[in-house]
Amino acid sequence: MAAGDIVDLIVIFRTQSDVEASIVRGLLEANGVMSIASSAVPHSLFPLSVNGLGEVRIAVRADEADDARRIIEDHLTDMTNGRVVRLRDEFDALQHAIDYRFRDRGLLEHAMTHTSRANEDVSGGVTDNESLEFLGDAILGFVVADILFREFPELNEGQKSKIKAALVSTTTLARQAERLTVGDHLLLGRGEEKTGGRRKQALLADGYEALIAAIYLDGGVEQARAFIQREFAPLFADARRDGQMGQDHKSALQELLQSRDQPLPEYRLAGTLGPDHRKLFRVEVSVRGEPLAEATGASKKEAEQEAARLALEKLIDS
């Protein structure tokens, strides 16, 4: 619709998710139908409506309304009393895995959208999950600290800090994400897809934190806390049993090698990934010059510990 045109507009779609609205508009445009989106709620912080406080309306020319409705209906899975409920949900498996159903599924899609996908969207209607990741990191840290304070009163501050650092580390979060197959649901750009982004620890950890934020925004702090408690229950159980988290895998590897009359392991920084403010370190561990394992971490120490853990698994199984 050209600027200045005076035409009759009809609202043919309503949603409380800006993400879903952008999908519908893209769908209509791909079929040659131009549309206009409007909302009574300003979206200054997040590109979405939170807790049903706002409604996004999509309108088209009156003479294209029937075609627009048909196009949308062809992509629907549910209708309630003639009103749109949602587009085809590609995240059913993920919602089942996390044991939480989103009221606003656009939040979940937002959480899974990596910056590489957003950068490829020329319309500017797709936003990446970095803000959600930031929020999720804060929520996770708070909930973990609260649980440690309430359920581990016998541990001193240093012990609690060590457990918390291990629980919220990139390595741990990536493992949690892998268990939920978060990587399968990430929305990536073509470049990240080609370079194995679905298996990258940093992307998995970021997606996991964004997922926590999405649950919080959709269901409130109690739902986010319940999710974290379910997910981390085995890790808290390990901490309760052992009195600590984050075992010293480097020492364990050294002891195993010495018991086999082998020399001490050597650790080498194999490279770094990402920008300076979110750099990941890749470390390789070897014995007698033979590589045993390689791992990444938010610090060289974390990467070395993970590489040692992988090397231990390899040596024990061999």
Give the three-class secondary structure for 37: strand
Residues 6+ apart with CB under 8 A from 173: 204, 205, 208, 209
Q: DSSP label at 28?
A: H
b/e burial code for range 51-71 (CB count within 10 A of at least 16 → b) = eeebebbbbbbeebbebbeeb
Q: Which two tokens mark 44?
A: 């200054």
User: Could you give the residue numbers annotated as active site?
Assistant: 137, 209
Instruction: Provide the pairing of β-strand 56-61 with 9-15.
Output: antiparallel
Question: Beta-carbon neighbour count of residue 92 at 10 Å?
Answer: 12
Question: CB–CB of 159/244 below 8 Å?
Answer: yes
Which candidate, 102, 255, 236, places its Cα nearest to that of 176?
A: 236
